[in-house]
Amino acid sequence: MSNQNLNQDNHGHSDDHGHHKETFISKYVFSMDHKMIAKQFLITGIIMGTLGMAMSMIFRLQLAFPDMKFPFFEGIMGHWGKDGKLDPNFYLALITIHGTIMVFYVLTAGLSGTFSNLLIPLQVGARDMASPFLNMLSYWFFFLSSCVLVSSLFVDGGPASAGWTIYPPLSALPKAIPGSGTGMTLWLVAIILFIASALLGGVNYITTVLNMRTLGMKMTRLPLTIWAFLVTAVLGLLSFPVLLGAGLLLIFDRSFGTSFYLADIPADMAGGIERVGGSPILFQHLFWFLGHPEVYIILLPALGITSEVIATNSRKPIFGYRAMIGSILAIAVLSFIVWGHHMFITGMNPFLGSVFVLGTLIIAVPSAVKTFNYIATLWKGNLQLTPAMLFAIGLVSFFISGGLTGLFLGNAALDINLHDTYFVVAHFHIVMGSAAIFGMMSGIYHWFPKMFGRMMNKSLGYAHFWLTFISAYCVFFPMHFMGLAGVPRRYYANTAYDQFSTFVDMNVFITIAALIGGAAQLLFLFNFFYSIRKGKKATQNPWNSNTLEWTAPVKHLHGNWPGDIPHVYRWPYDYSKPGSEVDFIPQNIPEEGQTDPLQEMASQHNH
Amino acid sequence: MITATVKNNMNDSHEPHAINPTKFVLWLIIVASIMLFAAYTSAYLVRRGEGNWVMFDLPAVFAFTTGIIALSSITMQWALISAKKDNQGNLKIALYLTLGLGIAFMAGQWIGWQQLVSQGIHLVGNPSESFVYVISGLHLFHMLGGIAFLIAVLIKTFQLKITAKNFLIVNLCSTFWHFLGAMWIYLYFFLLLNR
Amino acid sequence: MKILNRIQKTSFIFATLIVLSLGSFAQTADEGAKLFSANCTSCHSINEKIVGPPLKNVHKKYDEAWIIKWVKNSQEFIKSGDAKAVKVYEENNKIPMTSFATFTDLQVKSIIAYVKAESEKAPVASAASASSNVATDSETETTDLSDCINWLMVVSFLLLIIVIGLMISILEKLGDIKGKPSINWIRINGFLLLAFLILGMAAVVWEFYYHTKLTVNAQTPASAHGVIYDSMFNITLVLTGIMFVVTQVLLFWYGYRYKHSDTRKALYYPDNHKLEFIWTIIPAVVLTVLVVRGLQTWSAITDRNQNDKAQVIEVFGYQFDWKMRYAGADNKLGAHDFRKMGVWNELGVDPNDSASKDDIVTSELHLKVGQPVVLKFRAKDVIHSAYLPHFRVQMNVVPGLPTQFIFTPTVTTNQMREIMKNPTFDYVLLCNKICGSAHYRMNRKVIVESAEDYYKWLSTQPKLVAENTATAESDSKALATK
């Protein structure tokens, strides 16, 4: 292929970028190279994900076998698992930290942080991020934040236990729950550090996409991954400051005696100061103003990755490229006016509720368009069923299943009986949890060769996919029925109301499925770390893909391309184009009669 | 340092864009800050709409500090113009003036808080009272960043690193400074009108 | 002092009524059982640790006087530096126990008697099962057995995964030796996609068949608005169900049908505006139906005009229990103030307000069938959520922010028992917003009954502000000594 030779031309001046010699520290630790930072994000994310998953295993055991004793609980949790019984307070701590880790640390930083960092400069054709230094800071804030959160597991009173949504007054009054003491303080510190990381990252991503595209890379030639990352970063930039604001006011309530979120709390509950005049609902408004866009901050990168993986492996252009961009933008805009659907039963004005219903259900239209476009892309394709492709198909399946249940929850009337039940747990674990994790997995299998220069083992990948896919459905699908029976979420055990005892078998089934799903991740972890060192050597463009990252050499260079950055002549989805011998035409290959955009520009200047 | 890698490849061609990446980064940071203040002012309005809201007068000194910060924006602009004209003397004077006014503003805010306390308005109390402290305090916190930036620019002027051809940092600093000024003026009138 | 006296009476009268009715010593334990289930079960059980420690044999560990002191005000007791008290506090992760200052010594003693009786029961049962191999009282036995089976299943699945991994690697090594891949993964995965579609759909059908009957939607709704709720639910279910089947079938079928083949080339098909228009319009139309129907249902349920004829009942949530306050004949709740909340007056009702004179505080929610009711929600400490799934009712219970829900119960408890063919069925009021360690136990029975039964029950419930001055005086003395 000619594109592979392109980079080797003009080799002369390239390797020397005037960089001083790299030491171990500057290369692996305080690296400013976007590819290394991406790997740092990924590995930190995987470690946090493993921790979050392990927590879910513990509370799944508790839910399935509320009467049983697990002696190893005492071994791993000390006095919180005394005599093999999980402490109810620590149960709440586990679900809180599980949620926090999965939402923020794995699916925001681990997913968006990894792939935005890896792909933005490579796919838009830039040497690095606009500001490699801020990029490095972004990772280290994230790392510090992870450390603070993990350290909160070991403090007196336990980590934050008010649910990942930390609604005050529960999160504001240490007397209400032991986790609202030091643990909650550390949670807030961790989240503030996290927000700093997300903002620094986001600022960089936006600037790089908008200002540093290579010549010819018009916005309408950007791969859909980049569109997704760009919109995600904008969402983060607009919504994370609001969470910061909400958190600061909570800190004031907790530590300085104000009552922004506290009303009618007697002095003996609230550290000796009577709290009047605040509004607990105010926090929910601020929180969900972030919280709902956050759902799309998680989901859009996964959908972007899926678009890329499905097109490449179907050997077909993505169907309706412009409609895909349109729906990403529509979802992003709408995501800012729907936060109230998390609060239908807080006693909000019914008319306000109606407005939120309207906004929420409208989001289903662009989501449906995306789904149909994915399916149309598969139609008459020539599907390379790689692990990445399977995970992408899995994502679409989850996106459908979970998206449709959203139509129940987004309708205020139906939400009355479904709010905060297992139906909600099922809904967001499918549409946000599983779908986004599958997007992340898809990305890891697809871009592993780009990250580590080696291939992951395919067969283990298949086993990983099928076990994960089946067990995820087995875990979350039955939960809908529990929710419809009125079983509330965040219950330590379903033993207190007789009717719930009918779900004992189902809980056992779910837990077993979860344990299998958890075990399947061991296959992934083994495959991942083994392949980093011992995997098969990767070729430069193992998936015959069109995007620019595959024109860069396998061995990482600081600056990405040894010669000039390739110029771009076409959109990224020219797969199986009629008239072409091979079934892919990379973006840097000129169309017939097309001149170099550089010359074009020069000639325009001359006129 | 920030753009080191990028600048090393001057022969790279990019899609044309209108704005310097570093300046763009600054604008994005400003947008994030605006969102933070927007969150607080809308929280303020939402909470105020619920009733049980204690009314009180803003300290008189806030009117003065508003004037001071508006004035400092003018001197900052003067600094930028001087930098463009390579007028090192005026640049220094303008920056000193801005710094002085900035510090005066911060001191003024402090005095304002003391006036509030003497009126019996404390941080701990009705949210209307707490909000004034938190909102002005958050702005003051941003001011610290602005002052630090200003000092960094001053140091650069003494190193004679700012010329008519290389005044980006002055440009950035003035953008941020104007933002701080505009933000306070907005907050002042917001608090004044929505008591 | 008079105010206090009155407030104290609330629970005191309740207590004296019980205590006076005691005929024999044996009944003490019965009384204790009632008190125990009304006050203690959210945090304690006999054999298990819940929030507080198990109470089995607590009468042997501590003397009666100590226990009484602890129950009435444990925090004071801890502060006083009692070594045992401090130890208990620290052993239980420093979670303070609610003070039950309203209990009389006699009441605490009756609870101890109950705990004693229960403690003695438990070992008998286990001794019986231990002495004979035949599982007579087999509840514990069977759980142990099924647990073993579960564990075996988990372990065997783990082994299965390892075996799969090993097999794959062996097969691959064999393939490497022959020089060509031994497994056609594309084919296998294609078939697996198809198999997943078929088996998955079968599983979904099975689930709907077996599990729908467990859901509240499968039962007759117990409230007037439940009917429109259920019809809205069914419309959504049908529409989303069609979308679900169509899209999932296409997705997996295409995954199977168009799996890679060397002989075929993919179709270059980047765009079709007509198609895209169609599948923007279809969801838009479906959603219009859902939005319109949904908003109609929503406004019908939240309609506030039915307010005036509805009976007023206050539902008060606190960690970790509910209390109901009936407005009495005037259908007006007495004023309340959170500053008045305390161990003597949990709900903080203002006894001076004339409207509170006939208010009645209860632990169960009894409703008259066919009578519109407005539940007014109030919380003491953190956000709770009152959830009555059988009535399709839920509303957050927020400290400092009164909320309400208006509905009409239409099916009595007895009727529902018949419909469900379950003689022990009871409606329930659940807490559905995370509120602390015993969140999962924070529920109360709801009973819907005929007006006759309702008034019979209500008449047995003590008035909030009763006229028995004698008990009030003894109460105020108790307070004065504190």
Q: How many CB atoms lie within 10 A of CB A64?
A: 22
Distance from CA of C140 to the nearest CA of A (A): 9
C467 inside domain: no
C466 inside domain: no
Residues 186-215 in A contacting B (C-alpha not used; CB under 8 Å): 199, 202-204, 206-208, 210-215
Chains near C with 3+ CB pairs less than 8 A apart are: A
Q: What is the arithmetic mean of pLDDT over A403-421?
A: 94
Last residue of a domain, one of C154, C183, C212: C183
Tokens of A497: 């109301």
Q: Give me the domain span that covers residue C55.
A: 2-130
Best C74, C299, C440 residue to mutate vs chain A (most A CBs within 10 Å)? C440
pLDDT over 90 at A28, yes or no: no
Domain shared by C224 and C279, yes or no: yes
Which among C232, C255, C436 has the least Cβ separation from residue A393?
A: C255
3-state helix, strand, coil in chain B (%, to 5): 75, 0, 25
Q: What is the arithmetic mean of pLDDT over A247-253?
A: 94
Q: pLDDT per residue over A473-521, tens digit each?
A: 999 999 999 999 999 999 999 888 888 888 888 999 999 899 889 988 9
Domain shared by C295 and C360, yes or no: no
Domain shared by C221 and C264, yes or no: yes
| pLDDT for the residue numbered C141 | 40
Count of structural domains within chain C: 4
Residues of chain A with pLDDT > 70: what percent? 95
Q: What is the arithmetic mean of pLDDT over C339-356?
A: 79
Question: In whole numbers, what is the pLDDT of chain A averaged over residues?
Answer: 90
Q: Which residues pair with C386 in a beta bridge?
A: C395, C431
Distance from CA of A64 to the nearest CA of B (A): 42
| pLDDT for the residue numbered B2 | 37
Q: pLDDT per residue over A546-555, tens digit each?
A: 999 999 999 9
pLDDT over 80 at C216, yes or no: yes
Q: Which residue has the higher pLDDT, B16 or A411?
A: A411
pLDDT over 50 at A383, yes or no: yes
Q: pLDDT per residue over A98-148, tens digit each?
A: 999 999 999 999 999 999 999 999 999 999 999 999 999 999 999 999 999
Q: pLDDT per residue over A42-71, tens digit each?
A: 999 999 999 999 999 999 999 998 888 888
| pLDDT for the residue numbered A347 | 87
Domain shared by C257 and C360, yes or no: no
**A504 and chain C in contact, CB less than 8 A:** no
Tokens of A227: 């569109």
Strongest mean pLDDT among A287-301, C2-16, C72-86, C464-478: A287-301
pLDDT over 60 at C477, yes or no: no
C480 inside domain: no
Q: pLDDT per residue over C422-448, tens digit each?
A: 899 999 999 999 999 899 999 999 999
Q: Parse chain B into domains and list their residue ranges.
A: 18-193
Residues 6+ apart with CB under 8 A from A546: A312, A572, A573, A574, A575, A584, A585, A586, A587
CB A392 within 8 A of CB A441: no
What are the helix (H) ranges across A315-434? 321-334, 350-378, 387-409, 412-418, 422-428
ipTM: 0.91
**C209 and chain A in contact, CB less than 8 A:** no
Domain shared by C405 and C329, yes or no: yes
Q: What is the arithmetic mean of pLDDT over C228-255?
A: 95
Residue B12 CA neighbour count, 13 Å, CB half = 25
pLDDT band of C94, cuts 50, 70, 90 = low
Q: pLDDT per residue over A322-373, tens digit each?
A: 999 999 999 999 999 999 999 999 988 889 999 999 999 999 999 999 999 9
Chains near A with 3+ CB pairs less than 8 A apart are: B, C
- The fold adopted by the segment(s) B18-193 is Four Helix Bundle (Hemerythrin (Met), subunit A) (1.20.120)
Range in A416-420, C225-229, C296-300, C462-466 with the lowest mean pLDDT: C462-466
Q: Which residue has the higher pLDDT, A23 or A196?
A: A196
C481 inside domain: no
Q: Which residue has the higher pLDDT, B6 or B187?
A: B187
Domain shared by C331 and C415, yes or no: yes
Q: Do C258 and A314 touch (CB under 8 A)?
A: yes
Q: Do C440 and A88 touch (CB under 8 A)?
A: yes
- Map out the domains of chain A with their CATH numbers: 33-602 (1.20.210.10)
Q: How many CB atoms lie within 10 A of CB C115?
A: 24
Which among A202, A277, A559 has the least Cβ separation from residue B126?
A: A277
In C254-336, beta strands by DSSP E: 311-318, 321-326
Domain shared by C13 and C126, yes or no: yes
Q: pLDDT per residue over A168-190, tens digit each?
A: 999 999 888 999 999 999 999 99
pLDDT over 90 at A605, yes or no: no
- Using alpha carbons, list the distances in angstroms from residue A512 to A320, A425, A464, C151, C209: 41, 18, 17, 9, 22
pLDDT over 70 at C220, yes or no: yes
Q: Which residue has the higher pLDDT, B1 or A50?
A: A50
pLDDT band of C4, cuts 50, 70, 90 = very low
Q: Do B25 and A131 touch (CB under 8 A)?
A: yes
**Helix pair angle (A435-452, A504-534), 10° resolution:** 10
Last residue of a domain, one of C268, C302, C336: C302
C458 inside domain: no
Distance from CA of A493 to the nearest CA of B (A): 37
Domain shared by C195 and C293, yes or no: yes
| pLDDT for the residue numbered A607 | 52
pLDDT over 90 at C252, yes or no: yes
Residues of chain B with pLDDT > 70: what percent? 93
Residues of chain C with pLDDT > 70: what percent? 76
Q: pLDDT per residue over B86-110, tens digit each?
A: 889 999 999 999 999 999 999 999 9
Domain shared by C231 and C321, yes or no: no
Report the distance separating Cα C473 and Cα C479, nearest Å. 10
pLDDT band of A94, cuts 50, 70, 90 = very high
What are the helix (H) ranges across A65-181? 71-77, 88-100, 114-124, 132-151
Q: Is A411 helix (H, G, I), strand (E, B) or coil?
A: coil
C478 inside domain: no
| pLDDT for the residue numbered A7 | 37
Domain shared by C294 and C167, yes or no: no
Q: Which residues pair with C313 in a beta bridge?
A: C326, C375
The separation between CA C182 and the C-alpha centre of its own chain, rounded to angstroms, equals 55
Domain shared by C291 and C354, yes or no: no
pLDDT over 90 at A150, yes or no: yes
**C94 and chain A in contact, CB less than 8 A:** yes
pLDDT over 80 at B158, yes or no: yes
pLDDT over 60 at C21, yes or no: no
